[in-house]
């Protein structure tokens, strides 16, 4: 299951991603955690010391390795140079599984112990000014998008991405790569306006979007969110003393998280899990092709000097059944 946490900066994406990841790990699920947020704080939120977090390998610096591994023996992708972030897999490509060892995880993932078990953590690496503009070819989140487009994930396997709700993810199609998107919103007009924008993009692509109200103080906050986002409001999370302690570098055992917040995490998992049965790999593949063609035409063909539409394997559909094949 591929799950994104998006929202305005400061809304609590990283905090809620990290709590959700801890919740999954405590339940024994297999988790790959990905930090694709502009401010790279997921490692710290999962309890890494500053020097440990700083030493995490950046996916953005290992794009060539990722591309060379994923393209495998796909004859339609002649070299890593012509592989852009939207290049879809086809016959001969290598796929990624949540539960396996592979060169991408070797190079980019590090285990983080969370009590219940270790999760794999991958980070895009710090963003620079260039990343926030239109640096399509070298985009930091491109590495994440390539991995998602080559991922065959099953039940009880989770990829959780802490991610910025921004124009980059809309242009590339990254926002369509998830089984469930949790939009974290504070009960403020700004929080809600990010939701409206996301909803508008999401509508045309059937993106499953739920709002998680955060830093909610009382009924008035809940009423505000309910009025503004309606049934899309899945759950709310209040100020957490557990989170406050963690921020002071003294994380209590996860079992001590407040009951109400634990119930909210449970609701998030149930909402994500409910999407398993309605996953549509045909549509998933079709959307990846759609965004590839769009990116090829708008900058990819020119940038690589190749006709990137030819990379599409018309008979290929990504699906869970491919997980068994190597």
Ligand X SMILES: Nc1ncnc2c1ncn2[C@@H]1O[C@H](COP(=O)(O)OP(=O)(O)O)[C@@H](O)[C@H]1O
Residues found near ligand X in the complex (CB under 6 A) = 7, 9-15, 37, 39, 41, 214-215, 237, 239-240, 243-244, 247
CA–CA distance, 163 with 169 (Å, rounded to integer): 9
Output the smallest distance, CB 126 to Mg ion, in A: 12
Work out whether 186 is an interface residue with Mg ion (CB under 5 A): no
Q: Which is nearer to ligand X, 128 or 239 (CB)?
A: 239
Per-residue burial over 273-306, b if 16 or more Cβ lie within 10 Å, else e, is: beeeeeeeeeebbebbbebbbebbeeebbebbeb
CA–CA distance, 37 with 55 (Å, rounded to integer): 17
Output the smallest distance, CB 4 to ligand X, in A: 12
243, interface contact from Mg ion, ligand X, none, CB < 5-8 Å by kind: ligand X
3-state secondary structure string, 137-181? CCCHHHHHHHHHHCEECCCCEEEEEEECCCHHHHHHCHHHCCCEE
Output the smallest distance, CB 7 to ligand X, in A: 6
- Closest to 157 in 3D by CA, of 311, 314, 3: 3
C-alpha of 78 from chain center: 28
- Closest to 286 in 3D by CA, of 176, 199, 209: 176
Half-sphere exposure of residue 241: CA atoms within 13 angstroms, side-chain side: 4
Segment interacting with Mg ion (CB under 5 A) among 10-18, 124-132, 173-181, 213-221? 10-18
Q: Which is nearer to ligand X, 41 or 110 (CB)?
A: 41
Output the smallest distance, CB 37 to ligand X, in A: 6
Please report, as residue ranges, which positions from 36 to 55 form the binding site for Mg ion (by CB under 5 A).
Answer: 37, 39, 41
12, interface contact from ligand X, Mg ion, none, CB < 5-8 Å by kind: ligand X
Q: Which is nearer to Mg ion, 95 or 119 (CB)?
A: 119
Among 1, 6, 14, 77, binds Mg ion (CB under 5 A): 14
φ/ψ of residue 85, rounded to 5: -65, -20
Q: Which is nearer to ligand X, 70 or 229 (CB)?
A: 229
Q: How many residues does the chain have?
A: 326
Output the smallest distance, CB 99 to ligand X, in A: 27
Q: Which residues lie near Mg ion (CB under 5 A)?
A: 13-14, 37, 39, 41
């Amino acid at each position: 299951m591929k799950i994104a946490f998006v929202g305005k900066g400061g809304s609590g994406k990283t905090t809620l991603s990290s709590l959700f990841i801890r919740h999954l790990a405590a339940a024994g699920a297999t988790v790959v955690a990905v930090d694709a947020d502009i401010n790279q704080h997921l490692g710290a939120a999962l309890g890494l010391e500053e020097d440990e977090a700083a030493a995490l390998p950046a996916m953005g610096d290992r794009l060539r390795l990722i591309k060379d591994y994923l393209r495998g023996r796909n004859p339609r992708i002649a070299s890593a140079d012509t592989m852009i972030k939207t290049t879809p897999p086809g016959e001969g490509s290598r796929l990624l599984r949540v539960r396996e060892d592979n060169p991408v995880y070797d190079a980019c993932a590090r285990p983080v112990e969370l009590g219940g078990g270790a999760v794999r953590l991958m980070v895009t690496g710090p963003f620079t000014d260039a990343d926030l503009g239109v640096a399509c070819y070298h985009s930091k989140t491109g590495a994440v998008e390539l991995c998602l487009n080559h991922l065959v994930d099953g039940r009880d396997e989770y990829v959780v991405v802490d991610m910025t709700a921004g124009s980059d993810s809309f242009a590339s199609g990254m926002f369509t790569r998830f089984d469930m998107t949790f939009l974290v919103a504070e009960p403020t007009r700004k929080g809600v306006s990010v939701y409206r924008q996301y909803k508008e993009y999401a509508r045309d692509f059937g993106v499953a979007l739920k709002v998680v109200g955060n830093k909610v103080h009382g009924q008035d906050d809940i009423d505000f969110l309910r009025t503004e986002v309606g049934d899309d409001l899945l759950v709310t999370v209040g100020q957490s003393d557990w989170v406050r302690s963690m921020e002071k570098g003294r994380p209590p055992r996860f079992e001590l998280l407040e009951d109400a917040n634990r119930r909210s995490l449970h609701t998030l998992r149930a909402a994500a899990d409910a999407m398993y049965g309605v996953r549509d790999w045909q549509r998933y593949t079709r959307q990846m092709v759609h965004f590839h063609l769009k990116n090829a035409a708008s900058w990819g063909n020119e940038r690589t000097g190749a006709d990137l539409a030819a990379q599409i394997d018309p008979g290929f559909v990504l699906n869970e059944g491919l997980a068994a094949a190597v």
